[in-house]
Amino acid sequence: MPDSKTPYYVTTAIAYPNGAPHIGHVYEAIATDAIARFHRLDGRDVRFLTGTDEHGLKMAQTAAREGVSPFDWATKNAARFKEMDERYGISFDRFIRTTDKDHYAASQELWRRMQAAGDVYLGKYEGWYSVRDEAYFDESETTVGEGRTRFAPSGAPVEWVVEESYFFRLSAYQDRLLKLYEEQPGFIGPDARRNEVLAFVKRGLADLSISRTTFNWGVPVPDDPKHVMYVWVDALTNYITGAGFPDETSELWRWWPADLHVIGKDIIRFHTVFWPAFLMSAGLPLPKRVFAHGFLNVRGEKMSKSVGNVVDPFAIADGYGVDAVRYFLLREVPFGQDGSYSHEAIVGRLNADLANDLGNLAQRSLSMIGKNCEGRVPTPGAFSEADAAMLASADELLEKTRAAFADLALHTALSAIWAVVAEANRYFAGQAPWALKKTDPERMATVLYVTAETVRQVAILAQPVIPEAASKLLDLLGVPAEARGFDALGQGGRLAAGSALPTPQPVFPRYVEPAAEAAS
C-alpha cells in the first residue's frame, strides 16, 4: 500500500573510507540522524541515506601502500563507518557504497544524459592538481612555498598534470545557477556559505574535467572505458542512486528530489555548483536545500594525525555514552558554525544539562510518585495559575522546536527544550511537593502530575537527539510506543491518571572522573 505521508529525503555526505572515522564524521551523522528522527516523529515518510565514497586516486594510492586492493581497503574501512553509525543509533535506511552495483548503473546513466544534452566533450586537461583534495586548482588559487613547491588552499601540494579528459560544460551554467540561487534562496545554507558560492559563480565558471586516464579505480566512462569518471561525478550521484535512479518507476523515486543534503563546509562548492549543474543537464529535479555544518576542532586546534589529537568516536561513546555525545555536539555547537570538542566541555554538559537538570527532575518526581501515589500516575486536582503556566510552556514547545528544525537551528531547538526543563525545576522547587505530602496531598498529586506531564513532553521532543535516554524516560512514564510521536504532544496526549508505572531508575548517571572514583 502506498504511504500517504509526505516524503522527506535527507542525506549525509558520503565519507572517504580511507582510514578510520573521526569525530567530524560522527558529528555529521548525528546531526543528520536528529533531523531524520525529528521528521519521522513529526509524521513524515523519511528516507535517510548515508555511506562511503570509495573511488579515486587517493583511495587507490593508500590501498597500494597497504598492499591490498582498493576494494578490499574500502571494504575494511566502510565496515568501520557502518559500525560507528550502528553504535550511535544512526537510523539510516540505506548505507550506500559507491562500489555497489546499482551505483555504477546510476552514474553511467547520469553521464549518458549529460552527454545527450551536449554538455560532455573530449579535450586535454592540464593544470595544478592536488592528489589529497582530488581537485585541480587555478594557478591564482595556489601558493608557492619553500623549495618552489606549490600548494592548494588546503595546504596540500599540487603538481602539473596533463591528460586526455572529458569535460563538462560548466561554463554554460553560470546564468542558470545564479537564477537558481535567486529563485530558491534556501538552496544554500547558512547564509555565509550562500554568499561565498554566489561570489564564486559570479566570477565565471570554467568547464570541469570529469574523467581520468592515469588510474582505473573508478566508474568506467560509458563507451570509453580507458577513462574512469572523476570521483566527484560518481560521488554526487550517490544521492540519486539511493532514490532508485535510473529507474524512475521505482517506488524509491518518490523521494527525489532530496529535501536536504547535509555536508561539511569544505565541500559546499561541489554540492551547490557542480551537482545542480549536472542535474540540470540531465533534466532531473534539483535538491531543495544544501546545508553546510561547520568543522569540529579539538580544544581549538585542527584535528590531525601528526598532532595526535584525532578523536575516536568509539572511545568517546564508551567513555561518556552515546546520548551524551549526541547531546553535547548538537547543544554545544551552533549548527552551521565551527565548534570545539574537549573532555571538560562534554562533562560539563553531561553533568549539568542531562544528569542534573533533566535526570534529577525526572528521578525526584518519579520516585515521589512511586512512594506516595502507589506507583500510578497521580490524579490532578484543579490547576493553579502556576500549573497552567507550566503546562502551557510545555505545550508551546512543539511549535518552537519545529521552527528551529525548519531553520536547521538544532542548538536553538535544544535550548528551547532545556529552558522548559529549567522552568520545571523552578516550578518543582517552588511548589515543594515534599512539603505538601502531609498538609495537602491532593495538591502534591497535582504538582507531581504537572511535573511528570512536562517531563513526558520534553522526553518526546528530545527523542531525535537522545533516543536511548528519552525512550527510557518514556518507559518510566508508562507512555506506550504508539504515543511517542509528535501528534501525542500537547493537551491531546496528557498522561492518563491512574496508569501503573514501573519502578523509577536513574536515566543519566553523573560522569565521575576515573581518578576521583578510585579515590572515593
Which contiguous run of DSSP H or E holds residue 88?
none
Residue closer to ligand ME8, measured from CB, 296 or 404? 296
Tell me how far, at minimum, the Cβ of 201 lies from ligand ME8, in Å: 19
> Pick from 57, 114, 221, 236: which binds ligand ME8 (CB under 6 A)?
236
Residue closer to ligand ME8, measured from CB, 11 or 451? 11
Check: CB of residue 354 under 8 Å from CB of residue 469: yes
Question: For ligand ME8, which stretch binds (CB under 6 A), given 1-9, 219-227, 230-238, 412-420?
Answer: 230-238
Q: How far apart are CA 16 and CA 135, in angstroms?
A: 15
Residue closer to ligand ME8, measured from CB, 15 or 84? 15
Tell me how far, at minimum, the Cβ of 248 lies from ligand ME8, in Å: 21
**What residues between 10 and 39 interact with ligand ME8 by CB under 6 A?**
13-16, 24-25, 27-28
**What residues between 285 and 314 interact with ligand ME8 by CB under 6 A?**
295-296, 303
Q: Of the candidates 167, 207, 166, 180, which has an alpha carbon nearest to the alpha carbon of residue 280?
A: 180
Q: Of the candidates 224, 507, 504, which has an alpha carbon nearest to the alpha carbon of residue 368?
A: 504
**What residues between 47 and 66 interact with ligand ME8 by CB under 6 A?**
53
Three-class SS of 231-281: HHHHHHHHHHHCCCCCCCCCHHHHHCCCCEEEEEHHHHHHHHHHHHHHHHH
Tell me how far, at minimum, the Cβ of 423 lies from ligand ME8, in Å: 33
Tell me if 245 contacts ligand ME8 by CB under 6 A: no
Which contiguous run of DSSP H or E holds residue 374?
none
Q: Of the candidates 494, 508, 472, 506, which has an alpha carbon nearest to the alpha carbon of residue 378?
A: 494
Q: Is 217 helix (H, G, I), strand (E, B) or coil?
A: coil
Residue closer to ligand ME8, measured from CB, 190 or 378? 190
Residue closer to ligand ME8, measured from CB, 193 or 349? 193
Residue closer to ligand ME8, measured from CB, 28 or 332? 28
Tell me how far, at minimum, the Cβ of 27 lies from ligand ME8, in Å: 5
Which contiguous run of DSSP H or E holds residue 482?
none
Residue closer to ligand ME8, measured from CB, 238 or 351? 238
**What residues between 253 and 282 interact with ligand ME8 by CB under 6 A?**
263-264, 266-267
Tell me how far, at minimum, the Cβ of 264 lies from ligand ME8, in Å: 2
Tell me how far, at minimum, the Cβ of 35 lies from ligand ME8, in Å: 14
- 3-state percent helix, strand, coil for the chain, nearest multiple of 5: 55, 15, 30
Q: How far apart are CA 349 and CA 356, in angstroms?
A: 10
Three-class SS of 385-443: HHHHHHHHHHHHHHHHHHHHHHCCCHHHHHHHHHHHHHHHHHHHHHHCHHHHHHHCHHH
Residue closer to ligand ME8, measured from CB, 300 or 492? 300
Angle between helix 101-116 and 231-241 (nearest 10)? 110
φ and ψ at 289, to 5 degrees?
-155, 140
Tell me how far, at minimum, the Cβ of 238 lies from ligand ME8, in Å: 6
Tell me how far, at minimum, the Cβ of 286 lies from ligand ME8, in Å: 15
Residue closer to ligand ME8, measured from CB, 130 or 463? 130
Tell me how far, at minimum, the Cβ of 233 lies from ligand ME8, in Å: 10
Check: CB of residue 223 under 8 Å from CB of residue 111: no
Please give the DSSP secondary-structure letter assigned to residue 479. Answer: -
Tell me how far, at minimum, the Cβ of 142 lies from ligand ME8, in Å: 20
Residues 6+ apart with CB under 8 A from 460: 41, 470, 474, 479, 484, 485, 486, 488, 489
**Nearest residue relative to ligand ME8 (C-beta):** 264
# chain residues binding ligand ME8, by CB under 6 A: 19
* 277-289 burial code (b ≥16 CB/10 A, e <16): bbbbbbebebbeb
Cα atoms found within 13 Å of the Cα of residue 271, Cβ hemisphere only: 27
Please give the DSSP secondary-structure letter assigned to residue 15. Answer: B
Q: How far apart are CA 223 and CA 171, in angstroms?
A: 25
Tell me if 227 contacts ligand ME8 by CB under 6 A: no
Tell me how far, at minimum, the Cβ of 469 lies from ligand ME8, in Å: 24
Q: How far apart are CA 272 and CA 287, in angstroms?
A: 10
Residue closer to ligand ME8, measured from CB, 34 or 479? 34
The C-alpha angle with vertex 66 and arms to 65 and 70, in degrees rounded to 5, equals 90
Residue closer to ligand ME8, measured from CB, 196 or 266? 266
> Pick from 235, 252, 290, 324: which binds ligand ME8 (CB under 6 A)?
235
Tell me how far, at minimum, the Cβ of 16 lies from ligand ME8, in Å: 4
Residue closer to ligand ME8, measured from CB, 303 or 398? 303
Tell me how far, at minimum, the Cβ of 133 lies from ligand ME8, in Å: 9
Q: Of the candidates 257, 267, 280, 239, which has an alpha carbon nearest to the alpha carbon of residue 107?
A: 239
Residue closer to ligand ME8, measured from CB, 161 or 267? 267
**What residues between 91 and 110 interact with ligand ME8 by CB under 6 A?**
none
Binding site for ligand ME8 (CB under 6 A): 13-16, 24-25, 27-28, 53, 235-236, 238, 263-264, 266-267, 295-296, 303
